[in-house]
């Protein structure tokens, strides 16, 4: 719908992003209204994982949307630069985006275009959901004509292809496709043309994630695949429920590293930030550890001690304590 510029806001001494509506599109009343709705959608949202809007300016028959400047790269570039992401990064990114979507849905909005290119990761390890250009305000009239599909084809849910109106479950589906792609570098549903792609989506058949990405933990794989259930009611009940499960998955694979620090290390390793810059936020040991995981040389975490093993250890400690007490009593008397 336009082009995005990096700009400098002199009054507040900060960099911002300015999205300018293409002059040719400005002649279309429908597209102008979509652009304005994007600005209004952004303006309603105050979430750390959603790009904030500062102003909507109309000047010389052109519209400009002024937003936060995110210094980093979108996930499509990150994926292209180094291939599939490590499981910890997938879980962290997924939890952040799912939490943002839960907030968006609470505000009666639908994003309708969740995909890697619309999720940014900053050099500081922040995750930002962006591009609400085709978002739908569920309380406003619909600009979409009957029979028109809105969204990116590979990320459309089967019920949307079947003519049903999009809802929150369609955003959850699109996030599942996104995370699957981040995990293995391939989309779950593919086809040489739109018709075969849509048929694959309608059938709902795709390679199980661990069959193409064995390093993905089972729990994380199940969380992602639950988004891709053909029946909407079988998916996550809410994006918030999905976010909480992905947070638990992240806790299991981060190994004590702060989630944001893990993304800082990823961006440094893939060339989107300088190593010296990353080292101001995390220590060298963390950077080397995460780099090893990125390069496939990381070791698996130590297995958890079985519960019966813990009971045995407690029994041994109690026995030793009792023996020590008896010895002390005998020495005393």
Q: Determine how many CB atoms are found less than 10 A away from the CB of residue 279.
A: 15
Coil/strand/helix, residue 204: coil
Cα first-last separation, the chain = 91
Partner residues linked to 64 by β-bridges = 20, 57
Angle (deg, nearest 10), helices 168-184 and 75-82: 20
Q: Which residues are catalytic?
A: 113
Say how far apart CA 304 and CA 268 lie, in whole Å: 31
Give burial (CB, 10 Å; 0-12/13-18/19+) of 132: buried
DSSP 117: G
Task: Calculate the CA dihedral of residues 235, 128, 79, 249 and round it to 10 degrees.
Answer: -50
Find out whether 28 and 1 touch, Cβ atoms under 8 Å. no
DSSP 50: B
Find out whether 66 and 2 touch, Cβ atoms under 8 Å. no
119-122, strands of its sheet edge to edge = 72-74, 119-122, 127-129
Say how far apart CA 250 and CA 242 lie, in whole Å: 12
């Amino acid at each position: 719908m336009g082009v995005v510029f990096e700009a400098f806001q002199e009054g507040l001494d900060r960099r911002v992003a300015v999205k300018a509506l293409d002059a040719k599109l400005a002649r279309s009343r429908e597209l102008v209204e979509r652009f304005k709705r994007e600005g209004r959608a952004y303006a309603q949202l105050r979430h750390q994982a959603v790009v904030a809007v500062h102003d909507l300016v109309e000047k010389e028959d052109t519209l400009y949307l002024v937003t936060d400047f995110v210094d980093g790269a979108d996930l499509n570039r990150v994926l292209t630069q180094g291939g599939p992401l490590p499981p910890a990064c997938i879980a962290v990114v997924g939890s952040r985006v799912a939490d943002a979507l839960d907030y968006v849905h609470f505000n009666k909005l639908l994003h309708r275009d969740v995909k890697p290119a619309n999720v940014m990761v900053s050099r500081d390890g922040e995750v930002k959901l962006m591009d609400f250009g085709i978002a739908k305000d569920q309380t406003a009239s619909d600009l979409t004509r009957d029979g028109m599909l809105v969204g990116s084809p590979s990320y459309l849910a089967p019920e949307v292809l079947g003519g049903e109106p999009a809802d929150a479950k369609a955003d959850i589906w699109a996030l599942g496709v996104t995370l699957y792609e981040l995990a293995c570098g391939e989309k779950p549903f593919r086809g040489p043309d739109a018709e075969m792609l849509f048929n694959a989506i309608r059938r709902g058949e795709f390679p199980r994630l661990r069959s193409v990405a064995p390093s993905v933990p089972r729990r994380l794989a199940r969380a992602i695949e639950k988004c891709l259930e053909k029946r909407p009611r079988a998916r996550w009940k809410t994006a918030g429920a999905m976010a909480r499960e992905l947070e638990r998955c992240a806790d299991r694979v981060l190994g004590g590293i702060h989630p944001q620090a893990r993304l800082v290390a990823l961006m440094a390793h893939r060339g989107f930030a300088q190593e010296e810059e990353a080292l101001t936020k995390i220590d060298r040991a963390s950077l080397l550890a995460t780099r090893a995981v990125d390069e496939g040389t990381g070791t698996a975490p130590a297995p958890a001690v079985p519960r019966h093993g813990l009971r045995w250890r407690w029994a041994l400690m109690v026995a030793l304590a009792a023996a020590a007490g008896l010895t002390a009593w005998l020495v005393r008397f």
